[in-house]
Structure 1
């Protein structure tokens, strides 16, 4: 399964904030800092940060002394729940068709759609027990913080 770029970015933002908090509990990187460190456009990072803030996984404060802070809920968030939220739980394939394509002629008797839906749920379920904290333990956290921005 291929993740949306926004899903990947959301996971990396949370991991980066968890690692920063572990290294220095007073550190509050800004959205620009995080975007630069991950070499992604600021606008993409800002959109993902806004969604994560809406989900109560991080707080964002403006101005002097502001920045991003991972909430306790963000630290213990299930990776599976986060991926579900960003990816949506829709079908892997579009059997109904669109304005430019006809519906699949196999739809009435197709078994593929159900098999793909079960595989998608198994993928999400395998991520459910993993938390953001689990992803930044051991050597991963310092490595995340040590990646220099690209020139």
Structure 2
């Protein structure tokens, strides 16, 4: 299964904030550190804020900070939220699959997708930002402009 770019960026933003070492980086700084377009990062930060996973303060002394809910959020729940509830394959697309009425593959793929999400459910942002990932995230942030 391949994650959407927005899901990947959301997880990386949360992981970066989990190791913020007392600082409150701005959306622009986080985008630069992760080498993603600012506009993409801004949309994702807005969604994460809406979901209560991070706080965003404007102006002098502002920046981003992970909330307690963000720290303990399930990776599986975050991935489900960003990936949506759609099927792995589009059986109803512009050219509907001729097997649609009697296909067993669609159900098997749905089960596999749920197993993927379920395997991520026990993991939290804190878990995936722990060493050796956390120190690496900080090092990358220090090296970037």
State TM-score, norm by structure 2.
Answer: 0.96
| 3-state SS, counterpart of residue 122 of structure 2 | coil
Task: Please give the alpha-carbon distance, in whole angstroms, between the structure 2 residues aligned to 1:17 and 1:124.
Answer: 23
How far does residue 96 in structure 1 lie from its aligned partner after superposition?
1.1
How far does residue 97 in structure 1 lie from its aligned partner after superposition?
2.0
- Report the equivalent of 1:132: 125
**Correspondent of 2:49 among 49, 53, 59:** 53
- Report the equivalent of 2:73: 77
Unpaired stretches in structure 2, ≥5 consecutive residues: none
- Report the equivalent of 2:11: 11
Task: Please give the alpha-carbon distance, in whole angstroms, between the structure 2 residues aligned to 1:138 and 1:60.
Answer: 26
- Report the equivalent of 1:42: 38
Q: Please state if 1:111 is matched with 2:134.
A: no
Unpaired stretches in structure 1, ≥5 consecutive residues: none
CA RMSD of aligned residues (A): 1.0
- Report the equivalent of 1:146: 139
| 3-state SS, counterpart of residue 2 of structure 1 | coil
Per-residue CA deviation, residues 58-101 of structure 1 (Å, 9 max, x unaligned), is 00010000000100000000000000000001111111122xxx
Task: Please give the alpha-carbon distance, in whole angstroms, between the structure 1 residues aligned to 2:35 and 2:92.
Answer: 37
State TM-score, norm by structure 1.
Answer: 0.92
Deviating 4+ runs (over 3 angstroms): none
